[in-house]
Amino acid sequence: MIKSWLNRIEKRVLKTMETPGPFAPFSFDQILAGCADIYKTGVKLRYAMYANNILKSRRLDCPVISIGNLAVGGSGKTPMAIWLAKMLVENGWRPVVISRGYRGTLKNEVAVVSNGRDVFLNAKTCGDEPYMMAMEKAFPVVAGKDRYKAGLMAIENFAPDVVILDDGFQHLKLRRNVNLVLLDHRQPLGNGYMLPAGRLRETLCMAKDRIDAIVFTRCPSENASFAQSVQDLGVNIAGHLEFCDHYRYNEPDFKRILAQAKALNLDFILTTQKDWVKLNPAWFRDVTVVVMGVRLRFTHPQDFEKFILDNIVVQGAGSGLP
- State yes or no: 75 annotated in a binding site: yes
Per-residue pLDDT at 258: 83
pLDDT given for residue 243 in this prediction? 81
Phi, psi (5° rounding) for residue 110?
A: -120, 150
Report all structural domains of the chain as residue ranges with CATH numbers, in order of start.
Answer: 64-219+299-314 (3.40.50), 226-292 (no CATH)
Supply the pLDDT for residue 239.
80
User: Which H, E and C letters describe 73-88, residue by residue?
Assistant: CCCCHHHHHHHHHHHH
DSSP state of 18: T
Q: Is 71 annotated in some ligand binding site?
A: yes
Per-residue pLDDT of the chain (322 residues; tens, 9 = 90+): 676 787 788 888 888 888 888 999 989 999 999 999 999 999 999 999 999 999 999 999 999 999 999 998 778 899 999 999 999 999 999 999 999 988 888 988 999 999 999 999 998 899 989 999 999 999 999 999 999 999 999 999 999 999 999 999 999 999 999 999 999 888 899 999 999 999 999 999 999 999 999 999 887 656 667 777 788 888 888 888 888 776 778 888 888 888 888 888 888 888 888 888 777 777 877 788 888 888 888 888 899 999 999 998 765 544 455 5
Report the predicted TM-score, pTM, of the whole model to 2 decimal places. 0.87
23 C-beta neighbours (distance < 10 Å), count = 19
- Annotated ligand binding at 72? The verdict is yes
φ/ψ of 10, rounded to 5, equals -60, -45
What pLDDT score does 267 carry?
85
Length of the chain as a residue count = 322
Number of continuous H segments (helices) and E segments (strands) in the chain = 11, 9
Percentages of the chain per state (helix, strand, coil), in multiples of 5: 40, 15, 45
The answer to whether 225 and 231 have CB atoms below 8 angstroms apart is no
Ligand-binding site membership of 76 (annotated): yes
Could you give the residue ranges of the DSSP H alpha helices within 91-234? 123-126, 128-134, 147-158, 204-207, 223-232
112 is in an annotated binding site: no
Determine the pLDDT at residue 162: 97
Q: Give dist(CA 213, CA 207) in Å, integer.
A: 12
On whether 73 is known to bind a ligand per the annotation, the reply is yes
Residue 222 has a pLDDT of 66
Please tell me the number of Cα atoms within 13 Å of 227 on its side-chain side: 11
SS3 102: coil
* Type of residue found at 279: L
Q: What are phi and psi of 64, to 5 degrees?
A: -125, 130
Q: DSSP letter for 24, please.
A: P
Q: Which of 137, 165, 158 is nearest to 77 (CA)?
A: 165
**How far is the C-alpha of 76 from the C-alpha of 183, rounded, in Å?**
9
Sequence-ordered list of residues with C-beta below 8 angstroms from that of 312, at least 6 positions apart, any chain? 63, 65, 162, 177, 178
Residue 190 in marked binding region:
no
> Identity (one letter) of the amino acid at 263?
A
Provide DSSP, 266-320: -S-EEEEHHHHTTS-GGGGTTS-EEEE------SSHHHHHHHHHHHHHHH-TT-S
The predicted pLDDT at position 314 comes to 64
Element (H, E) at 4: helix 2-17
Asked whether residue 77 is marked as a ligand-binding residue, the answer is yes
